[in-house]
Chain A
């Protein structure tokens, strides 16, 4: 399979990339890890006139934590960097759990978190994680930089809020105010498959009391689902069997699964309920804060 013809540029600075996208006037596409875009080009579902390969942009392969606890993931930070990250392993259990279940190890060597958010696949795992964590994307375009909260960034299946001349430069997870807990669980038929269903749970706690909660669902709707009601049900109290059960029920209600080759709608709803309950139950056991 061959992509249709395109011109190719590999700019050396973000400004240059933005200028190329601007000239491209909507017919240009950013190429990051290529693990979603190259397959689409080969199938000719995408046929841009110009590819702007950002892999040569210096200084975007980072992920780091600021002094206040804000986590920043640059546009060229690969899934594999996050899988091996000691920062995430010690500070961000939801991201750490997700990093190891994205695609397969070879795809993870190239694919990026930011690219995954831009791709906005309803079955993409990172969009759920970043939604549960209340993160945002920083974009740079002809008219400067702006921050786009994830809820507004993903505008629909495979659609994002970027203007045609904007590059997403980093994804940001705001600093937590309390102790961080949570996890990500994904059911896949085999390694490398997209989620039959997945659940991201991100909590901040003050002692035993939940002070902030985010729950988001993968693969059970036309786009990433923010199970806000389920999350709200947890805030202000400790995790008890009751509150966990209520949140799990509400998350299952928020899911809008469709029956397909990966499973029936009922089955997927059941998985959502089970996963949310499982993550929260693990967090509630004081010895283990990650799922």
Chain B
């Protein structure tokens, strides 16, 4: 029963994709000029070209490095500061309005400033990405640490738990759910950071391929670069999901178990 409906979903997905691609292919040159919308076959051919020549891997690797390094850096600092502020109530109270002010700033608006400070090298993209990811992970971690159940802490305290026990046995595990929400939200933003950085100033990376193709009025190249970015986003998302399942086995049993009230 379960298995059957899964295959069915996949078949329907395949049909949907085929429908979109075929309509695109057919309308190209008929309903809209090929110059603007290119066509799937041309994109596939170019993608294959880039794969064979290694172009996509070279530029993809650079974007991936920026996104992942920024993601890890921002995520790590976000978690540490989130846990710390979540425990230090006074500091959190004092800093709250400033954090919120900074949070509401669209972080990509910092890009020009970062170019001034750090140049146009890879470190500028990593730092831009890290800044974006930091806030998402920080805020989620902070919320998670604040949302920890006081009852659970009290129960452990009665058993003679010290600060360290409370932190590692209750606070952190209960915040993990929130941390991962932050991390999952951060994946697309990490790519935004890296690619915006490349669009602004770079001669490498998928963002550069995108800008370069657009500069030459090569729509097919633009679409091919976009597809490369999409594939990368998909892989990063899958990686975080996998990590999430590994880190929170109780969550998986929760979603896998049959519903009962």
A and B bound?
A: no
Question: Which residues of A approach B to under 8 Å, CB–CB?
Answer: none
